[in-house]
Amino acid sequence: MDVATFVTSVFDGRLPVRIVAYDGSVAEPTEPGADVTITLRNRDALTRVLTRPGELGLARAYVAGDIDVEGDLDALVALEMPSFNLARHAPALAELVSALGPSVLRPIAPPSIEARPRGAMHSRRRDAQSVTHHYDVSNRFYEFVLGASMTYSCAVFTDADQDLDEAQVNKVDLVARKLALREGARLLDVGCGWGTMAIHAARAYGARVVGVTLSEPQRAYATARARRDGVGDLVEFRVQDYRDVTDGPYDAISSIGMVEHVGRRGLPAYVDTLTHLLTPGGRLLNHAIGRPATHDPDPQPTRLDDLRRHLGLAIGARRATKTGSAFIDRYVFPDGELHEVGDLVTRFQSHGLEVRHLESLREHYALTLRAWVANLERHWGEAVAEVGEARARVWRLYMAASAVAFERHHLEIHQVLAVRPNDGASGVPLRPRFDAP
């Protein structure tokens, strides 16, 4: 049995893509599908999938470069590909092993960039491992992907054709206005990244800012930026877990793209910690990716399950699991969890905060991701030289699939503005307008 015939048998003869195998065999689509060609470059592609059937084996083969994908990634992520069923496909497997030898079933070590964090879930030690896996890749690589703004979160576009860097300035300025920043105000920027929000708050509003991150390369990069931009005296960046911040109170707190790393169990402590770091009358702006609500009366957040749906399909998995995506967990966001925005609002208010404004930016994140993919593809050779082809491949697939997920409303993103009341006074205008300076 040749390889392409074996793959066709896994699809039960209903093949929606073109298969090109290393042994020269080719299988043409038998079903309507995407204009996509999947190339199995070597025998390791089969070994990885056969020894770890399902998403993780496929992910490892893709990341290692044993599988190539050519064609429209948008169409690819919409495909529903079957998982390999060892019992159902036993006859075809036996014929393949007879042709290739039993060594095809000998496991191969996973790609070296696979994350395997250790310790208690969402402990300080394990969270640091997960964050550094994702962010301590290379500042230069992030420059290729994110552009000059170095902002790794959803931009806010005035129109679909606006420049990405301008749209990222729109976003941080929107956050600053929602927080009512002013000269001398103390801002805590939780998960500060490469410092864009903190530097803008200091430069445009005169705020005094503390930014915390678990990434030393981010801290160093942000500190250098602040000095270069003339606000080094107003901004301090620390490698510090937000749970260890003790120098409150702060007039405002921004948390942009950070709560996704906290997890369900850590959410009460997250809200309680930030609430107590706010001065009475202070404001919290939480900007976070979330999952749509379900009809389940007591929904449980899954570990990036909605993004998993697209990324899993893109590499051949079909069914969602309560533990999330092997691809996401091992190669993108270890231990990540998404929350439904209503659950976040309830958490904030149950801890004494008053939610005053909520805004969805879903379409804006799709535009942001499209721009990041275009940046990566434009700098592909440089990106591969910087971090290796495996990591560049992970990012291309992850961002392209994420864009589709936001466009199809399988993912959401919201900004939630909350206030710590001061004897019942919110300090928010009767009819606040945040859509313009």
Residue 360's pLDDT is what? Answer: 97
Under the banding of pLDDT at 50, 70 and 90, the label for residue 320 is: very low
Q: Which of 126-130, 181-185, 245-249 has the lowest mean pLDDT?
A: 126-130
- Between 3.30.1390.10, 3.10.20.600, 3.40.50.150, 3.90.280.10, what CATH number should domain 124-301+337-419 receive? 3.40.50.150
| Residues found in the chain | 437
- Residue in the structure block whose two tokens are 């231990």: 335
Two tokens, residue 105: 């079933």
CA distance 213 to 261: 12
* Residue 352: burial class (beta carbons within 10 Å; 0-12, 13-18, 19+): middle
pLDDT digits (tens, 9 = 90+) for 336-348: 788 999 999 999 9
Q: Residue 49 above 80 pLDDT?
A: yes
DSSP state of 83: P
| Per-range mean pLDDT, top range of 15-19, 60-64, 81-85, 340-344 | 340-344
Q: Is the dihedral of CA 339, 416, 212, 112 positive or negative?
A: positive
Mean pLDDT computed over 293-297: 64
Q: Which residues make Cβ contacts (< 8 Å) with residue 383, sequence separation at least 6?
A: 141, 144, 145, 376, 392, 395
pLDDT digits (tens, 9 = 90+) for 359-372: 999 999 999 999 99
**Angle made by CA atoms 39, 43, 47, in degrees to the nearest 5:** 105
What distance separates the 2 farthest-apart alpha carbons in the chain? 78
The domain locations on the chain are 3-101, 124-301+337-419
Residue 400's pLDDT is what? Answer: 85
DSSP states of 88-143 as a string? Answer: TTHHHHHHHHHHH-GGGGS--PPPTT-----SSTT-HHHHHHHHHHHH-S-HHHHH
Report how far apart, in Å, the C-alpha atoms of 390 and of each of 60, 63, 325, 332, 383 are. Answer: 10, 5, 18, 12, 11
Under the banding of pLDDT at 50, 70 and 90, the label for residue 147 is: very high
Alpha helices in 206-350 (DSSP H): 216-228, 267-277, 305-314, 326-331, 341-350
Residue 114's pLDDT is what? Answer: 77
Mean pLDDT computed over 288-316: 55
* Residue 350: burial class (beta carbons within 10 Å; 0-12, 13-18, 19+): exposed
Asked if 311 and 395 touch (Cβ cutoff 8 Å), the reply is: no
Asked if 286 and 307 touch (Cβ cutoff 8 Å), the reply is: no
The dihedral region occupied by 272, where left means phi > 0, alpha psi between -120 and 50, and beta the remainder, is alpha
| Partners of 39 in the β-ladder | 20, 68
Whether omega before 249 lies within 30 degrees of 0, making that bond cis, reads yes
CA distance 129 to 133: 6
Three-class SS state of 380? helix
pLDDT digits (tens, 9 = 90+) for 413-436: 999 999 999 988 899 988 888 875
DSSP state of 361: -
Three-class SS state of 20? strand
**Residue 230: count of CB within 10 angstroms of its CB:** 11
